[in-house]
Structure 1
Amino acid sequence: MSELINNRETGAQETTKRQEMLKEIIKELHQGKSVEEVKAKFEQAVGDVSVEEISAMEHALMEEEGIPVEEVQRLCSVHTALFKGSIEDIHRPSKPEEQPGHPVHTFKLENREIERLARFSLSLHKDKYVRERSEEYVYKLLEDLNLLMDVDKHYSRKENLLFPYLEKYGIFGPTKVMWGIDDGIRAMIKEAKQLLTNEPRDAEAIGALLDKIVTEVTEMIYKEENILLPMALNKLTEDEWLKIAHESEEIGYCLTAPEVEWKPDRAPEPQEAAGADPKQGYVRFETGLLSVQQLEAIMNHLPVDLTFIDQDDVVRYFSHGKERIFARTKAVIGRTVQNCHPPQSVHVVNELLEDFKAGRKDVEDFWIPIKDKFVYIRYFAIRDEDGRYMGTLEFTQNIAPIRALEGQKRILS
């Protein structure tokens, strides 16, 4: 027994030592050393790296060393160059990710289409535009970028379905870093489209930005398939993957879609087997009585999106109308609202909640145009009869049809 304990202690010490080495190498990059300067030290001192160690390292850089999320995002692309070829292969006996319809299979299927679009079509049209400066290739590039913007669905499924489960297992570093980089890619695609539609055009600047987009998109594919997805496969249960698969349709797919529904070979859950109905029961209000089914139907028929977070900033409910403006999936239930937003905007969320909790505000309004919609977003502090803060209600509505109203209507048409 003592030998076993000693072996465990030795293994733990070795893991800690490797973590410290990794952190020191990344800190050297942070201080300005080049990849070439630290690569030899990395290969000699660390060797193969597991995805769990990368996750722990990123978490430690942010939590223990105080390096901001934004800086880790910048370093992420640099240290990926070090890790390529050294991340250990994780062999799983059943390989569910190879089954069509499995979320990981779908993510990889989309990645092949994203690669083809970015590295072949977009790169080819960029080269020809920079050489010829013709309108023909402006249109082709705009077409490529419109297609590439579909990557938003790929990233949204990752952020709104996969990240919440990883966070339940205590994995926060990679999710924060990746979300920030995803947002950067989205922004660059929009910027490139704007530069192509502006007059006069700066072909060199456009070419440089498009090259950066291709690089960042390609690097993200590598990070997903060699860090994020293997880590998720190690942590998530089959039931959790099944929930992600069922909710993926709600957000949508990028450039392609699974041809079949994933149906793992497993016994049904006890509740499924028993045919239990979660909508049975009634809710008594001060002004009436409704069945749970009636109440849910009422909430889902309102022409607005509702989301409620409790006094601890945890998402507890959202309505499920036919035409939601912003994607919501069941995976966000039980997740803190801060982890439902990109790191760059969390400070705005915290400031609003602090004002509500302190009683400085009871409501805050925002409005933004989104394509053919004019979105009105309202936040309300919910308080009990004694004025104690109970949570915040988000109320979102497309008011474009309301703004377009004129005259009057008094009878049925």
Structure 2
Amino acid sequence: MLPSISPVYSKLNEPGMLEQMGKVATLEMIASMGGIELHDLVFRLASEIERFEGGASAGDGGDDRKDDEKLQSLKSIILDLHSGKTVEEVKDRFKALAMEVDSSEIARMEQELIEEGLPEEEIKKLCDVHVEVFRESLDKKKDIDAPPGHPVHTFMKENEVLDGYLSVLSGMLKDIGKMDSAELTAEKKESLSRMMDSISDVNKHYVRKENQLFPLLEKYNVAGPSQVMWALHDDIRAMMKRTSELLEEGGPEALKEHLDGMVRTMKDMIYKEEKVLFPMCLDKFTEEDWSRVRKGEEEIGYSWIEPEEGWTPVMLEEDIHSGGAPGRIRLDEGYLTVEQMNFMLRSLPIDISFVDENDRVQYYSATDERIFPRSPGVIGREVSKCHPPKSVHIVQKIVDAFRSGERD
């Protein structure tokens, strides 16, 4: 069984060798002998035992077994990251796995790990490995060529502005690193605060991704990357909030260390967007999809800029059929046109969301003042996916209470 895992173990087939080794060898020793991580050896032994005892045979679930082995390899990489190994230390193993599968399969495996309940912190680490391994090939990719006015063009123009702000902030941090507490004057803190006010407008950029791009990716069964990115958005938001606290109470050393980390994380996000997210969206979305993105993003707003003229969205089917006289809807007591009903619901001094029996958002009132930022991209989406990963359990608790009758 061991020789099937690695040629190094073939010497165990020699007469008497297996019996002799069996008396003294531990799994740790065997793993070391084969140059294999212990958890990799355990996973491979389990697969071999299953096959030996009548598990999946060739041609009968063999592909499923191979997929499971790859998934276990991915898990072992995550376990190493969790135990403290660096991205650099696991990069070669991930690269070897990537030679057997393409990036879309890795995304699918990452999604399976999420569905199994793997903590988001571990998935975020894996995302960093994923990008680092493919960085060389990603760098060789042609730059995205989206026409002015197209949602991707607008996102990338916003990234140009953000990158400029981050570069200026990095320059300010070099000076701060040389200061003592007395030199970090109120005036210098005020300059940093104004810069952070400008940078914080990136939130609209992130909210548009969360409400416009991520729901469409889910429609094409690509949910893993969006969940990871949303978690990273929340990390960045927390970093920006923490900056305000450090400007009040922190010294120059703590402030510089924190902001250096924030700049690095935000620049990494720009890279992940332009090298992974946007190309994936351009590959999967139809022109009708992009028209819906364009139609909904104006409700959220833009960071620092407005879309340029150029790209013209296609006419959506729902727009084509809305040009005639509005229909009348029969209610329990009377009739209203669609226009009248929309006006009435938007005018109520409350924020309304309707989630159907399948836990999908079917309607929200587009009032001027909203508790949660939303756009038409959330329609048809599972309500649990319309909120940051950290608050999903709260949303689910509310939904369960409504379903059980505990709350009206």
Of 151, 174, 184, 1:103 maps to 151
Structure with higher helix content: 2
Q: Distance in 2 between matches of 1:108 and 1:10?
A: 44
Aligned residues: 344
Amino acid at match of 2:128: S
**Which string of whole-angstrom CA distances, capped at 9 and with x for unpartnered residues, describes residues 276-326 of structure 1?**
437722222222222222111211222332111112211111112344443
- Kept in 1: contact 2:94–2:129 (CA 8 A): no
Matched, 1:253 2:299: no
Structure 1: gaps spanning 5 or more residues: 1-8, 363-413
CA contact (8 A) 2:352 2:364 kept: yes
For residues 228 and 120 of structure 2, what CA distance do their matches in structure 1 show? 6
Q: Which residue of 2 aligns with 1:176?
A: 227
Helix, strand or coil for the counterpart of 1:98?
Answer: coil
Could you report, residue by residue, the CA deviation over 1:352-374 in whole angstroms, capped at 9, with x for unpaired residues?
11112112222xxxxxxxxxxxx
What SS does the corresponding residue of 2:178 show, helix, strand or coil?
Answer: helix
Contact 2:91 2:129 in 1 (8 A): no
Picking from 67, 80, 87, the partner of 1:28 is 80
Of 215, 240, 259, the match for 1:210? 259
Give the aligned partner of residue 160 of structure 1.
Answer: 211
Choose which of 91, 99, 109 in structure 2 pairs with 1:57. Answer: 109
TM-score normalized by the length of structure 2: 0.75
Structure 2 match to 1:335: 381
1:95-144 per-position Cα deviation (integer Å, ceiling 9, x unaligned): 7x5201111111111112111111x1111112222323233321111111
What's the % identity of the aligned pairs? 40
Residue matched to 2:406: 360
Q: Distance in 2 between matches of 1:278 and 1:237?
A: 26
What are the equivalent positions in structure 2 for 1:119-130 lying under 5 Å apart? Answer: 120-130=167-177
- Give the strand-richer structure, 1 or 2: 1
- 1 CA distance for matches of 2:299 and 2:389? 24
TM-score, normalised on structure 1? 0.75
Q: More deviation in 131-140 or 109-118?
A: 131-140
1:137 corresponds to which residue? Answer: 188
Q: Equivalent residue of 1:256, what SS?
A: coil
Q: Which moved further from structure 2: 242-251 or 164-173?
A: 242-251
Distance 1:333 1:77, change over 3 A: same
Are 2:78 and 2:122, in contact at CA under 8 Å, matched by a contact in 1? Answer: no
After TM superposition, the structure 1 = structure 2 runs for residues 12-411 of structure 1, keeping only pairs within 5 Å, are 22=74, 24-44=76-96, 46-47=98-99, 50-64=102-116, 66-87=117-138, 97-118=145-166, 120-132=167-179, 133-198=184-249, 201-260=250-309, 262-263=311-312, 268=315, 276-277=322-323, 280-362=326-408
SS in 2 for 1:326: coil
Write the deviation string for residues 337-357 of structure 1: whole angstroms up to 9, x where unpaired: 101001100000111111121
The alpha-carbon distance between structure 1 residues 323 and 45, as it changes in their structure 2 partners (threshold 3 A), is: closer
Cα distance in structure 2, aligned partners of 1:224 and 1:209:
23
CA distance in 1, matches of 2:403, 2:319: 40
Structure 1 residue 37: Cα displacement: 2.3
SS in 1 for 2:346: helix
